[in-house]
Amino acid sequence: MITATDAYATTAVDTSDHSGVSWAAVFAGAAGAAALSLILILLGFGLGFSAVSPWPGDGATLKQMSISTIIWLMLTQILASGLGGYIAGRLRVRWATLHDDEVYFRDTAHGFLAWAIATLVTATLVVGSVSSIVGGGLQAGAAAATTVAAAGASSERGTDANSAYFIDMLFRDNRPVAVSDDAAHAIATRIFLRGLADGQLGADDRTYLAQVVAQRTEIGQAEAEQRIDQVFAAAQQAKLKAQQAADTARKVAAASALWMFIALLCGAFFASFLAIHGGRRRDAVVLMTSPRTQHSTLSRPAH
């Protein structure tokens, strides 16, 4: 007795030696998806640049631009991937002897392959510019956060700043500091770096630095100390703003990556789904056997 499972296995066996992938249809769908993606991305760049303005209070805000960018990215993936999947499904060869489940699987695979190839092609074309924009923001935040440290490192020409700070302490005394301007700037840099790392200037560091400033600028000790307090407060504020900018850039980069992941998943889904629809339309094609009204319908039943 032949069971339903045996009948299914008999009808689902593919005895052909050919591959189950219609690469011509896959590449055709990928080309269409990549071209539409590129067009929509360029259009999105144009609309985005036209909506922003360097003048305060004019143009779209950062929040509005972020939301519109996410929506446009999702729309681009849905339209382009859906088109590529439909083309891949509609142009593939007809599998008349296969079970419906196998046809559905192959159509899904064709849509996914078309989406994957189109994504790689589009990424090759535009990911450089996108990564430069995102990476530029991260680099700007990181550069701002390390500006003071970089200045100290360049003045020391590779010498460790903390070691130089402690060496300076060995030679401190109450006599006038007979050093050049460059040496005085280096001493002040090392003291400021130490203070910014600890969050405040030590009493000894503040007094010694005031002596150096008073000698180099020919002002009183009290006025030098007041100037040091003002400059150090400004340096702390600049460091805080740089850290906030770096943290904001990190959050923007993380959110962009997550939304890009979601958009790509949507693209893969719509490409596979519309490939199935295109495949069903392909199997419903009627072949004309006569130039007149006679025709024959394909023998495989509709899904």
In a domain, 9, yes or no: no
Does 42 share its domain with 157?
A: no
Does 140 share its domain with 164?
A: no
Does 141 share its domain with 185?
A: no
In 3D space, the residue among 145, 183, 191, 141 whose CA is nearest the CA of residue 165 turns out to be: 191
Residues forming a β-bridge with 286: 297
Tens of pLDDT, residue by residue, the chain (303 residues): 445 444 444 444 555 566 788 899 999 999 999 999 989 988 988 888 887 776 766 766 777 777 888 889 899 999 999 999 999 999 988 877 888 888 889 999 999 999 999 999 888 877 655 555 445 544 544 444 444 444 444 444 444 555 666 556 645 656 555 566 677 778 788 888 888 887 788 888 888 888 888 877 778 888 888 888 888 888 888 888 888 888 888 888 888 889 889 999 999 999 999 999 998 888 886 666 555 544 444 444 444
In a domain, 201, yes or no: yes
Residue range of the domain that includes 211: 148-242
Does 79 share its domain with 203?
A: no
In a domain, 8, yes or no: no
Does 135 share its domain with 272?
A: yes
Q: State how far Cα 100 lies from the chain centre.
A: 40
In a domain, 51, yes or no: yes
pLDDT at 173: 57
Does 173 share its domain with 218?
A: yes
Does 29 share its domain with 104?
A: yes
Does 174 share its domain with 135?
A: no
Does 140 share its domain with 152?
A: no
In a domain, 15, yes or no: no
Lookup: tokens for 284: 């419903």
Provide the number of structural domains found in the chain.
Answer: 2
In a domain, 211, yes or no: yes
Does 280 share its domain with 131?
A: yes
In a domain, 13, yes or no: no
Does 236 share its domain with 273?
A: no
Spatial distance between the Cα atoms of 99 and 220, rounded to a whole number of angstroms: 95
Does 213 share its domain with 161?
A: yes
In a domain, 2, yes or no: no
